[in-house]
Amino acid sequence: MILIIDDYLFLAGGLIAVAWGMAHFFLRRPTVSRFWVVEGLFLATAGAAVIFTVSQYGTENTGVRVVTWLAASVTLAFGAFNLMNSLRTGALQARLGGVLGLVSGALLVAGSIINS
């Protein structure tokens, strides 16, 4: 029996990262817009890379494992940064971004653990 749970976890984590990254492009405050655009670009690219590699090559490829671990580290790092930033500023967007980043990273890590 082939387990495809890891495929769904990878795709869900990638979709959350892409959606969260694309949401950054709608922020209009000029003081933080450059940082948010760069963060959004990183997140959308990481999520799209996971979705593309998993759908194209499956999960039994070493390259796919590297891509998913890199994407997981990016989403977890940005999620932790946003949560720490929300403690300092109290911004709702940072809290939401932190939670989404940690959820996306956790899904990618869980898929990688199940896959190995």
pLDDT tens-digit map of 6-32: 889 999 999 999 999 998 887 766 656
CA 11 to CA 14: how far, in whole Å? 5
pLDDT tens-digit map of 52-73: 999 999 888 889 999 999 999 9
pTM of structure: 0.88
Length of the chain, in residues: 116
Three-state DSSP class for residue 110: helix
Determine contact, residues 104/17, Cβ cutoff 8 Å: yes
CA 12 to CA 38: how far, in whole Å? 22
